[in-house]
Amino acid sequence: MKNKNIRTQSELAKKLGITKNQLSVMLSEKNSPFKSNIQLLSKTLEVSPLEIITSVDLEGIDSQVNGVDQNKEYVDVTTVVAHRRYNVLELFAGTGGLASGLEKAGFNTVGLVEIDKYAAESLRINRPSWNVIEGDIIEVANRGIYNYLPPNIEIDLLSGGYPCQSFSYAGQKKGLDDVRGTMFYYYASILEQIMPKMFLAENVKGLTTHDGGKTLKTMISIFESIGYRVTYHILKANDYNVAQKRERTVIVGIRNDINEKYFLPKPYAYKPVLRDA
């Protein structure tokens, strides 16, 4: 690439007219490239398709964090220092409970989609600088999420808590079209549009047993078909300094071309009660 005066992955993505995230997926060894992708790269770099397939000279993926013990299941988040501020887009934002937690963790919120006008107003009052996208997620997804975001923005994380809804199980192999019409469909649709490095989805604890476990299994299958390695956890609020015993299902996905692990925050030793709040 250097002999074409293209020094970085970002510059190549700009020449191709796609995002850096989309280029990362296109060039991943774990991705099966389509003929059109190879042709586009060949034309832009003015090389043969064979050179595209056999040699890729790109900048590496940034390390996510410092101070993580690779041998432990949990990490003390007070010791973790990010190399930079990562961008997050939130769907089903409500009044910003999840968004405020991500803000405290150092994320830069570039957009929040919320249909309820009172919740959207609350977001604007509490965070005047946030890009609150007040509207129906169906319309936002169908129009394209990038129409609501700053130009040339790269999304590192998609977050949100979509409602738990039943699916139709007529087909043997689940694809995104099989869940069309559900709120999960529009979360997954926007995920596919932006292809961030990771996604985070939270839901009720009952999601794991909803419809005999079929609902969660279908969600994971669709996330995997989009291009993510997926795991889920049941987390307790009072493990993390919240004075309630609520349990939530947390689903985490890492894009297939990123060979990184993540660790859950280490639970607090003290469990707060109501009088502590």
pTM: 0.72
| Residue 133 in domain | yes
pLDDT at residue 68, rounded to an integer = 39
Tens-place pLDDT, residues 184-202: 999 999 999 999 999 999 9
d(CA 242, CA 271): 8
Alpha helix stretches (DSSP H) within the chain: 9-16, 20-27, 35-45, 49-54, 97-104, 117-126, 137-143, 183-194, 214-226
Identify whether residues 43 and 142 lie together within a single domain: no
Sign of the dihedral defined by the CA atoms of residues 96, 101, 104, 109, in that order? negative
d(CA 239, CA 235): 8
Sign of the dihedral defined by the CA atoms of residues 181, 252, 110, 128, in that order? positive
Q: Give residue 39's domain range.
A: 2-54
Q: Which residues neighbour 56 within 8 Å (Cβ) at sequence distance 6 or greater? A: 27
Identify whether residues 22 and 93 lie together within a single domain: no
164 is a catalytic site residue: yes
pLDDT at residue 71, rounded to an integer = 43
Identify whether residues 69 and 45 lie together within a single domain: no
Identify whether residues 91 and 130 lie together within a single domain: yes
pLDDT at residue 65, rounded to an integer = 35
Identify whether residues 155 and 44 lie together within a single domain: no
Strand bridging mode 198-204 / 247-255:
antiparallel
Helix (H, G, I), strand (E, B), or coil: what is residue 173? coil
| Residue 103 in domain | yes
CATH of residue 42's domain is: 1.10.260.40
Catalytic residue among 158, 164, 198, 252: 164
Tens-place pLDDT, residues 1-46: 566 677 677 777 777 777 777 676 666 655 544 456 666 666 777 7
Helix count and strand count (H, E) for the chain: 9, 11
Residue stretches of the chain with pLDDT short of 50: 32-34, 53-71, 170-172
CATH of residue 260's domain is: 3.40.50.150
Please give the tally of structural domains in the chain.
2
pLDDT at residue 31, rounded to an integer = 55
Identify whether residues 267 and 176 lie together within a single domain: yes
Identify whether residues 87 and 18 lie together within a single domain: no
Phi, psi of 216 (to 5 degrees): -65, -40
Encoding tokens for residue 123?
A: 């977001």
- Which residue has tokens 């774990």? 30
